[in-house]
């Protein structure tokens, strides 16, 4: 798990991932971008994320965690599995620039999510991303770069309500089109929503009910119109 002894470590572009349990502190050095991707569910080899395999008590001072403390908290896990647990459960110490970039990336993700999942209840249409971004600039919004966009949306939309008319909403569309186009229409629908029911008519038409975020309706209708050249029936129910 690395050499014993204390010596200051030049971590370069790496950052510290830190996990504390029962008063014991454990740290590993990681590549920030890959660590971010890993924490957001991307399948990556932990060995590609780590900068060295040492489990530290204090990475910046080069102080390695003792075997006793490691075994007390992690048992007989090997160093790679311990590093994975530290990365998943602990905090990742970012530089100011790294955090600023991650917050900006998360903000863009949130804007996209809102534009796809919320509507203007006065018109029934989604807000353009640029309008959402302008409205966000008017509220004091705290973005957690480590937290999923979806988990932050409800509070953000609530804060946006005094600024713009906005509501998170799901809708169900009923679609009827030629059976010859069923396969392609099916792909459009499952990419943008959930098909809750479908059936075939005696004359070879395909009917489907699809639940989706209200903001996705214009996109889905446009794609189906192009596919069928307008030869379809669609309505919100």
- pLDDT score at 125: 85
Domain with residue 76: its CATH number is 3.30.1250.10
* Mean pLDDT, contiguous 10-residue spans, the chain (237 residues): 41 82 91 83 89 90 91 90 91 80 88 88 89 89 79 87 89 93 95 93 94 87 94 91
- pLDDT tens digits for 111-168? 998 988 888 988 888 899 999 999 998 887 778 877 778 788 888 988 999 999 998 8
- pLDDT score at 5: 40
Residues 6+ apart with CB under 8 A from 118: 126, 127, 157, 166, 167, 168, 169, 213, 214, 215
Boundaries of domain holding 204:
170-236
Are 60 and 110 found together in one domain?
A: no
- pLDDT tens digits for 15-27? 899 999 988 999 9
**Of 168, 198, 215, which closes a domain?**
168
Three-class SS state of 60:
coil
**Of 119, 145, 168, which closes a domain?**
168
Would 8 be classed as within a structural domain? no
Are 100 and 159 found together in one domain?
A: yes
**Of 152, 168, 184, which closes a domain?**
168
Are 88 and 102 found together in one domain?
A: no
Cα distances (Å, whole numbers) of residue 125 to 47, 87, 152, 169: 46, 41, 22, 11
- pLDDT score at 11: 54
| 136 φ/ψ angles, rounded to the nearest 5 degrees | -65, -35
Are 151 and 112 found together in one domain?
A: yes
Which tokens sit at 142?
Answer: 């705290």
Q: Would you say 223 and 209 are in contact if contact means Cβ atoms under 8 Å apart?
A: no
- pLDDT score at 8: 40
Task: Tell me how far apart the alpha carbons of residues 57 and 140 are, in angstroms, rounded to a whole number.
Answer: 37
Task: Tell me how far apart the alpha carbons of residues 49 and 191 are, in angstroms, rounded to a whole number.
Answer: 31
Beta strands 91-93; 15-21: pairing state: antiparallel
Would 7 be classed as within a structural domain? no
- pLDDT score at 7: 42
Dihedral (CA of 136, 141, 142, 147) sign: negative
């Amino acid at each position: 798990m690395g050499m014993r002894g204390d010596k200051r470590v030049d971590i370069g572009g790496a950052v510290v991932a830190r996990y504390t349990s029962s008063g014991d502190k454990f740290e590993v050095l990681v590549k920030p971008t890959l660590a971010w991707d890993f924490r957001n569910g991307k399948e990556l080899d932990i060995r590609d994320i780590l900068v060295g395999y040492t489990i530290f008590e204090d990475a910046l001072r080069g102080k390695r965690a003792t075997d006793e403390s490691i075994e007390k908290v992690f048992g007989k896990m090997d160093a790679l599995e311990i590093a994975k647990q530290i990365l998943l459960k602990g905090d990742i110490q970012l530089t100011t620039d790294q955090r600023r970039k991650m917050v900006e990336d998360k903000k863009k993700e949130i804007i996209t999510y809102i534009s796809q999942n919320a509507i203007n209840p006065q018109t029934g249409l989604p807000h353009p991303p640029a309008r959402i971004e302008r409205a966000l600039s008017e509220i004091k919004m705290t973005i957690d770069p480590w937290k999923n966009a979806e988990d932050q949306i409800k509070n953000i939309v609530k804060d946006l309500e005094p600024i713009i008319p906005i509501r998170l909403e799901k809708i169900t569309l009923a679609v009827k089109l030629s059976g010859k186009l069923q396969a392609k229409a099916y792909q459009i629908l499952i990419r943008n929503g959930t098909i809750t029911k479908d059936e075939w008519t005696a004359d070879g038409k395909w009917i489907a009910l699809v639940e989706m975020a209200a903001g996705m309706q214009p996109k889905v209708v446009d794609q189906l119109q192009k596919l069928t050249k307008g030869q379809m029936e669609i309505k919100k129910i």
